[in-house]
Amino acid sequence: MNVDLVVIGLGYVGLPLAQEAVRSGVSVVGLDLSDAVVDGLNQGRSHVDDLADADVTEMLGKGFRATTDEAVLADAAAVVICVPTPLSEDSGPDLRAVTSATKAVGRHVHEGMLVILESTTYPGTTEEVVKPLLEESGLVAGESFHLAFSPERIDPGNPKFGMRNTPKVVGGLTPECTEAAAALYGRFVDTVVRARGTREAETSKLLENTYRHINIALVNEMARFCNELNIDLWDVIRCASSKPFGFQAFYPGPGVGGHCIPIDPNYLSHNVRAKLGYPFRFVELAQEINATMPAYVTHRAQNILNEAQLAMNGANVLLLGVTYKPDIADQRESPAVPVARQLQALGAQLSYHDPHVTEWQVTGLDAKRVDDLDAAVAEADLVVLLQNHSSYDVDALANGSRRFFDTRGVSTNGNAVRL
């Protein structure tokens, strides 16, 4: 084959994967539907947080190229599908991008090809959706070509763990398929973990994120009653974290964001309901709790103004940090959006500051970006810290404000009210 690997979908998952493979000497072509993404990459411009323009330029220098032409698949020894799987209207995964990418591969699949799905989805997708589409070619998965699933584990903005040093789970349709996938990833990932099959690999990703989802919901619910009981939950967590075994710290906040935590557990819950006919109660309760946190934050913000004999209607409220996690520009499912909408519905005059977001465009939301942070903090009736970017000196900001609401529990300044 002329190409070792074609990566379909050049977003926050596919592009770092392509980068690490290229670094290790694998010949890689990126395939994406977006002309803008492809043209930008071929000109050395990155569109994801974890890669700088210089990283893309380095990739190009080592032979990487991007294309919108699926014909490249005919020359590929292996294909990895890294396309989005958002929630559909019935809370299941929207597989349209997966089926579209799979059909494209099916038009070019050949003897000996390795096809791997990385897109997060419900257990059984690889066997029930991807396999039949590929076999429309007349070739048989597990015999004519290899088929496997490997869950993506990219953590955008994580300076410690990236593609190479995060263990890679792989599960094939057959043991031979598993070994073929392990051999590919073993060229550019330090540790490969073999699952029993595709369903185990698919479910492992959902378990990881369901674990986080449920534990975040636990501390979010504790935040509510600890506030009512005048208990400092942040100090409670600090004390509990001193135990060297049996406890892992999770922290409350204004809601959950990103593609994984608010979405992935729903795939599992939807699958259980659809196939078994009963609810996955832990997940559904966690979703209920986490989804109400923006309303709780809004209520607390209103109370802070009430205590100062001020109304939310007409108040100047400054939001700090509108991304879903610190130090990145990614805004997917950010809780800042529902918080802002609910504050605006109460009549607040909103502004925002975020060092990573120059334009925050949300339908129906009127929030202007401030450039002079210190002046805006001093002028606001209420400052709400929604995301703790490392560039923020939170205690100094709290000290310079009239009222400061810290939803991340990072302030030590007595002027701040913590969630």
What are the DSSP calls for 79-91, one per residue? Answer: EEE-----B-TTS
Amino acid found at 161: F
pLDDT digits (tens, 9 = 90+) for 30-84: 999 999 999 999 999 999 988 999 999 999 999 999 999 999 999 999 999 999 9
Instruction: Give the strand pairing for 76-81 and 3-8.
Output: parallel
* pLDDT single digits (tens) 202-228: 999 999 989 999 999 999 999 999 999
Per-residue confidence band for 99, with pLDDT thresholds at 50, 70 and 90: very high
Among residues 82, 177, 226, 260, which one is catalytic? Answer: 260
Q: What is the pLDDT of residues 315-348, one digit of tens each?
A: 999 999 999 999 999 888 899 999 999 999 999 9
Q: What's the N-to-C CA distance of the chain in angstroms?
A: 57
Domain spans, the chain: 3-204, 234-418
Q: What is the pLDDT of residues 267-288, one digit of tens each?
A: 778 778 878 888 888 888 988 9
Q: Which residue has the tokens 């490969």?
A: 192
The answer to whether 82 is a known catalytic residue is no
Say yes or no: do domains 3-204 and 234-418 share a fold. Answer: yes
For the domain 234-418, what is the CATH code?
3.40.50.720
**Which DSSP letter does residue 103 get?**
H
Rounded CA gap, 179 and 146, in Å?
Answer: 9
Reported confidence tier of residue 91, pLDDT bands at 50, 70, 90 = low
Nearest to 352 by CA among 327, 386, 378, 326: 386
Q: How do residues 135-174 score in pLDDT, each as one tens digit?
A: 999 999 999 999 999 999 988 888 899 999 999 999 999 9
Fold of 3-204: Rossmann fold (3.40.50)
pLDDT at residue 1 is higher than 70: no
C-alpha to C-alpha distance for 238 and 132, rounded to whole angstroms: 51
Per residue, the 3-state secondary structure of 14-51, as one string, reads HHHHHHHHHHCCCCEEEECCCHHHHHHHHCCCCCCCCC
